[in-house]
């Protein structure tokens, strides 16, 4: 058996250390180094301050560094596939902005999150994308406003879900950016088509509505008229079309979901949400059938332990009953708390899921 000659590990490490000292970007992607005093690993070109040699160890791949207990540096993003830490940082910032449009995003907020100076971030962002972070934030929000208006929502909802709140200053800024008032933009948008069906369920009359992209509403009420009025309130500017035949698949899937005959339901949803609502709703979807959680447990789970009331609000505004199981959230003391579709339905759903009813 032939053996390929390998450099002695000692000399490899010496070369690698030299590359780290020199911040040699040409060796990015060939190895990473971990710093035991911080628990972070970096690519050779990372701009951060150099650690002492005795605290540094080398790994061929990011994965090895992670297995050794290090976490990726937020500044040089050693896990990004292309070797350019600048564009990787900017990509990460863009993703962050897109997921946090409803937060009060400022440059200093971003600087804290990405552990860099505001000046450095601003300059890097501009040099890679050609626009400032603030201009990018505005563009992302505007895109969301447009999508929300095109989906047939009213202006207040569209602005709120895009992180604009309700201040008139922001309203005016949106109007400037759109080149017209949001109302006018909405009227000009091609009205979205929302198909729906109404069927009976163990919880009373049930309405299911969907766009081409997925389910946008699941509601319960005592009468069909109530359900239809609710749909008009939710999608005042959409073309609403009753279509029992084409919706029958969704109807069956949701009936199975209620009865617990579907082990792992993954229904495509097309719903508007702030990033906060989305975080809450995703946490709800991870609660196993038959179990419940408290509002504060969910708040902790999403990393916002003080936001118990905001969690409760997110539950109360869930547009898709059962598919997002907000009924599995109860009060700390075991009291059922509220439910958008009536406390009796919540009680009944929980009883079904705990196997006490079928």
State the first-to-last Cα distance of the chain, in angstroms, to the nearest integer.
Answer: 67
- With CB under 5 A as the contact rule, the residue among 73, 209, 271, 330 that binds Zn ion is 73
CB of 329 to Zn ion, least distance (A): 39
CB of 28 to Zn ion, least distance (A): 11
Using CB under 5 A as the binding criterion, the count of chain residues that bind Zn ion stands at 6
- What is the set of active-site residues? 42, 326
Query: Which among 49-57, 72-80, 227-235, 283-291 is the span making contact with Zn ion, rule CB under 5 A?
Result: 72-80
In 3-state terms, what secondary structure has residue 232?
A: helix
Please say which residue, 76 or 329, places its beta carbon nearer to Zn ion. 76
Q: What is the DSSP string of 85-149?
A: HHHHHHHHHHHHHHHTTTS---HHHHHHHHTS-HHHHHHHHHHHHSS-HHHHHHHHHHHHHHHHH
Please say which residue, 20 or 194, places its beta carbon nearer to Zn ion. 20
Please say which residue, 21 or 351, places its beta carbon nearer to Zn ion. 21
Query: Which among 65-73, 127-135, 208-216, 294-302 is the span making contact with Zn ion, rule CB under 5 A?
Result: 65-73
CB of 64 to Zn ion, least distance (A): 16
Angle between helices 343-353 and 248-259 (to 10 degrees): 70
Residues 302 to 321: which contact Zn ion by CB under 5 A? Answer: none
Does residue 56 interact with Zn ion by CB under 5 A? no
Does residue 100 interact with Zn ion by CB under 5 A? no
Scanning the chain, the segments in alpha helix (DSSP H) are 9-21, 62-67, 85-99, 107-114, 118-129, 133-150, 155-161, 168-178, 182-188, 224-234, 248-259, 275-285, 295-301, 308-316, 343-353
Query: How would you label 118-136 residue by residue, b for 16+ Cβ within 10 Å and e otherwise?
Result: beebbebbeebbeeebeeb
- With CB under 5 A as the contact rule, the residue among 32, 46, 90, 231 that binds Zn ion is 46
Does residue 76 interact with Zn ion by CB under 5 A? yes
Please say which residue, 111 or 193, places its beta carbon nearer to Zn ion. 111
Query: Which among 11-19, 35-43, 176-184, 290-298 is the span making contact with Zn ion, rule CB under 5 A?
Result: 35-43
Q: Are 280 and 298 in contact (CB under 8 A)?
A: yes
Does residue 27 interact with Zn ion by CB under 5 A? no
Query: Which among 22-30, 68-76, 116-124, 149-157 is the span making contact with Zn ion, rule CB under 5 A?
Result: 68-76
**R_g of the chain computed on alpha carbons:** 26
CB of 76 to Zn ion, least distance (A): 3
The owner of tokens 């929502």 is 153
Angle between helices 118-129 and 85-99 (to 10 degrees): 100
CB of 89 to Zn ion, least distance (A): 10
Q: Are 323 and 265 in contact (CB under 8 A)?
A: yes
CB of 73 to Zn ion, least distance (A): 3
Site of interaction with Zn ion (CB under 5 A): 42, 46, 48, 73, 75-76
């Amino acid at each position: 058996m032939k053996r390929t000659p390998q450099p002695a590990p000692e000399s490899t490490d010496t070369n690698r250390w030299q590359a780290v000292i020199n911040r040699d970007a040409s060796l990015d992607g060939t190895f990473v180094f971990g710093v035991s005093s911080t628990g972070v690993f970096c690519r050779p070109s990372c701009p951060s301050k150099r650690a002492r040699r005795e605290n540094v160890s080398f790994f061929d791949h990011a994965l090895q560094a992670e297995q050794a207990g290090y976490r990726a540096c937020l500044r040089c993003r050693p896990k990004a596939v292309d070797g350019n830490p600048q564009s990787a940082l900017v990509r990460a910032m863009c993703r962050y902005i897109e997921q946090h449009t409803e937060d009060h995003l400022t440059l200093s907020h971003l600087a804290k999150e990405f552990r860099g100076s505001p000046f450095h971030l601003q300059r890097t962002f501009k040099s890679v994308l050609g626009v400032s972070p603030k201009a990018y934030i505005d563009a992302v929000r505007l895109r969301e406003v447009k999508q929300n208006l095109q989906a047939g929502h009213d202006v207040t909802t569209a602005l709120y879900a895009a992180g604009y709140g309700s201040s008139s200053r922001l309203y005016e800024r949106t109007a400037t950016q759109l080149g017209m008032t949001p109302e006018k933009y909405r009227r000009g948008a091609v009205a979205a088509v929302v198909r729906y069906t109404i069927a009976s369920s163990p919880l009373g009359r049930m309405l299911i509505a969907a766009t081409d992209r997925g389910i946008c509403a699941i509601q319960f009420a005592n009468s069909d008229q109530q359900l239809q009025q609710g749909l008009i309130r939710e999608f005042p500017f959409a073309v609403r079309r009753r279509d029992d035949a084409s919706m029958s698949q969704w109807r069956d899937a949701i009936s199975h979901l209620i009865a617990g005959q579907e082990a792992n339901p993954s229904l495509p949803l097309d719903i508007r949400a702030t990033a906060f609502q989305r975080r809450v709703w995703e946490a709800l979807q991870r609660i196993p059938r038959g179990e419940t959680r408290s509002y504060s447990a969910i708040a902790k789970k999403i990393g916002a332990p003080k936001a118990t009331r905001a969690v409760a609000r997110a539950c109360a505004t869930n547009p898709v009953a059962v598919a997002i199981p907000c009924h599995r959230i109860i009060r700390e003391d075991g009291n059922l708390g509220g439910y958008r579709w009536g406390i009796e339905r919540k009680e009944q759903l929980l009883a079904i899921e705990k196997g006490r009813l079928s």
